């Protein structure tokens, strides 16, 4: 049989109809009525439980994983509205999919990593290919999670991790994760891919430094309290407009923090690792990011650059095609930062950029993507969280 994959999408406002329509399209494209696995990406305008129930019924109750994002991406659609859902169905005698989930990750990301590792232990094998992680982007601390996860797995060879952080419609109120029939928040939905296959991946952020070097002088975990001896917000506000308190979402989508790329991966990555300021406290003047930080760390304020983003997408397709070496992918998953969509590009330009990736990697390849609050992809064998980034994952 090999592997058959289909992708469908819908922008119908009724969750039941949207789920049915996207599933029907995916099943028809795959040529199956009973898939082995289902990925679902959707936006937050729907009654989420009704949407997932509809998809489960249409796909014969196949195992399902996914999450919400700020928008969805397919070959035919780049939709950043509150009503969009995409469904990928997969039938294969080459690949195996095992899904798991944990809830209530909250402040305990290290414990969450340990818990997820225990859930995945029964699925670990010599032919594991990848681990797809879709976590709540409003509460996730990646470094703490990863430390607990990899310590508990205790594998000689790192399990490559790909994925994205669930998002909502810019209000940073609530995101949703999916596992079979369940819809939940503050959790992680995870899929282990195994079997006969491989993964080609490309990563690029397209950001440039706009300020001088600064130094973190007080921090704890993923909270930055002081920069250069003064409250973090005070240190950064020279780059903000006068009404920055009321415009925080807009500011944090245009300005981000850049940290020197670690020595171990600097030859395979850009100059800076980018971090989104996912939260702030006006009274205490601190900002939070999605990974751990240490005192004495140097940082730069950075912004997105349209030309670098465009050139970066070309470099992604080149890297992936080099890894594929002429082999056609079975399917592609795309995790795209919310800060690289409509807030930067006009609709037609955004669509053309997406189409250029499809053309260069393969127009007839099943393709599904999500606009996220953070992207996950390994660099030189090290699992890394990225922000303001495109992570393209081609399974072949």
Q: Which residue, 98, 114, 106, 90, is CA-closest to 141?
A: 106
Statement to judge: residues 74 and 189 lie in one domain: yes
CA 330 to CA 312: how far, in whole Å?
23
Each residue of 273-289: pLDDT tens digit? Answer: 999 898 899 999 999 99
Is 173 found in the same domain as 96?
yes
Q: What would the pLDDT profile of 347-356 be if each residue is shown by its tens digit?
A: 888 888 888 9
Q: What is the residue range of 318's domain?
A: 3-204+308-395
Q: What is the band of 248 on the pLDDT scale with cuts at 50, 70, 90? A: confident
**Residue 364, exposed/middle/buried by CB under 10 A (0-12, 13-18, 19+)?**
exposed
Q: What pLDDT band is residue 249 in, cutting at 50, 70 and 90?
A: confident
Categorize the per-residue pLDDT at 346 as very low, low, confident or very high, splitting at 50, 70 and 90.
confident
- pLDDT per residue as tens digits for the range 154-168: 998 999 999 999 999
CA distance 270 to 291: 18
Whether the model clears a pTM of 0.75, i.e. scores above it, the answer is: yes
Average pLDDT in the 169-186 region? 95
Domain count of the fold of the chain? 2
Asked if residue 240 and residue 185 are part of one domain, the reply reads: no
User: Which residue, 227, 198, 217, is CA-closest to 320?
Assistant: 198
Q: Which of 259, 286, 303 is the last residue of a domain?
A: 303
Q: 254, 283, 303: which is the final residue of a domain?
A: 303
Among candidate residues 273, 303, 333, the one where a domain is terminated: 303
């Amino acid at each position: 049989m090999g592997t058959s994959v289909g992708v469908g999408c819908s922008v119908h406002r009724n969750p039941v109809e949207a789920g049915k329509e996207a599933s029907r399209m995916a099943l028809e494209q795959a040529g199956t009525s009973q898939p082995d696995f289902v990925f679902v990406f959707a936006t937050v305008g729907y009654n989420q439980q009704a949407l997932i129930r509809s998809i489960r019924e249409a796909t014969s109750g196949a195992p399902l994983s996914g999450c919400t994002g700020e928008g969805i991406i397919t070959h035919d659609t780049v939709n950043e509205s509150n009503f969009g859902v995409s469904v990928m169905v997969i039938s294969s005698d080459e690949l195996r999919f095992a899904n798991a989930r944990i809830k209530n990750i909250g402040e305990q990301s290290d414990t969450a990593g340990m818990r997820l590792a225990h859930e995945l232990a029964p699925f670990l094998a010599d032919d594991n290919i990848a681990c797809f992680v879709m976590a709540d982007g409003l509460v996730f601390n990646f470094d703490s999670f990863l430390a607990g996860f990899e310590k508990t797995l205790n594998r000689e060879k790192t399990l490559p991790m790909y994925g994205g952080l669930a998002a909502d419609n810019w209000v940073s109120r609530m995101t949703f994760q999916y596992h079979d029939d369940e819809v939940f928040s503050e959790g992680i939905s995870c899929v282990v891919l195994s079997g006969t296959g491989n993964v080609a991946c490309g990563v690029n952020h397209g950001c440039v430094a706009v300020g001088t070097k600064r130094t973190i002088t007080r921090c704890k975990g993923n909270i930055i309290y002081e920069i250069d001896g003064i409250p973090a917000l005070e240190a950064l506000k020279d780059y903000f407009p006068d009404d920055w308190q009321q415009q925080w979402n807009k500011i944090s989508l245009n300005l981000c923090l850049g940290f020197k790329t670690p020595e171990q991966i600097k030859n395979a990555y850009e100059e800076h690792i980018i971090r989104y300021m996912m939260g702030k406290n006006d009274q205490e003047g601190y900002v939070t990011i999605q990974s751990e930080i240490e005192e004495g760390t140097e940082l730069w304020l950075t912004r997105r650059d349209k030309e670098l983003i465009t050139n970066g997408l070309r470099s992604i397709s080149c890297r992936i095609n080099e890894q594929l070496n002429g082999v056609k992918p079975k399917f592609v998953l795309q995790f795209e930062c919310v800060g690289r969509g409509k807030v930067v590009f006009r609709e037609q330009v955004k669509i053309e950029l997406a189409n250029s990736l499809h053309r260069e990697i393969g127009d007839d390849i099943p393709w599904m993507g999500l606009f996220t609050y953070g992207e996950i992809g390994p660099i030189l064998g090290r699992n890394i969280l990225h922000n303001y980034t495109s992570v393209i994952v081609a399974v072949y």
